């Protein structure tokens, strides 16, 4: 990685108010970047997908549809049990 930085010369050029990076600063940045890359963990992503597997596989949608069908059937039974009203006007 240090070869690519030295070949690029991007960090060796001055910028802004003629501020130049020292070699020590570049080494610290490189070490910090390497340390962060080594310690990257994908566990939070894996855990999230494992916990929510039912959502992604469609099982939750099937359960919701099942409960909606049950609610509709219960509503039908309740509506059938109610007496029908008729509007009679006696004169």
Render pLDDT for 22-34 as a digit per residue (tens, 0 to 9).
Answer: 888 889 988 998 8
Average pLDDT, the chain: 79
Residues 54 and 74 occupy one common structural domain: yes
Count of domains observed in the chain: 2
Residues 76 and 48 occupy one common structural domain: yes
Q: Is residue 48 part of a domain?
A: yes
pLDDT for 14 beyond 70: no
Q: Which two tokens stand for residue 80?
A: 């059938």
Q: Which two tokens stand for residue 38?
A: 């080594």
Q: Is residue 51 part of a domain?
A: yes
**Closest by CA position to 2, among listed 27, 32, 19, 37:** 27
Residues 13 and 28 occupy one common structural domain: yes
Residues 31 and 59 occupy one common structural domain: no
Pick the range with the lowest mean pLDDT from 2-6, 20-24, 70-74, 85-89. 2-6
15 strand-pairing partners: 19
Place of tokens 């990076």: 21
Domain extent for 59: 43-81
Residues 48 and 75 occupy one common structural domain: yes
Residues 48 and 77 occupy one common structural domain: yes
d(CA 55, CA 51): 9
């Amino acid at each position: 990685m240090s070869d690519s930085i030295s070949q690029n010369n991007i960090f060796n050029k001055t910028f802004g108010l003629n501020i130049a990076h020292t070699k020590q600063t570049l080494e610290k940045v490189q070490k910090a970047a390497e340390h962060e890359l080594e310690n990257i963990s994908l566990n939070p992503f894996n855990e999230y997908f494992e916990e929510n597997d039912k959502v992604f596989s469609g099982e939750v949608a099937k359960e919701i549809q099942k409960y909606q069908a049950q609610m509709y059937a219960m509503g039908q039974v309740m509506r059938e049990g109610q007496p029908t009203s008729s509007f009679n006007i006696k004169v």
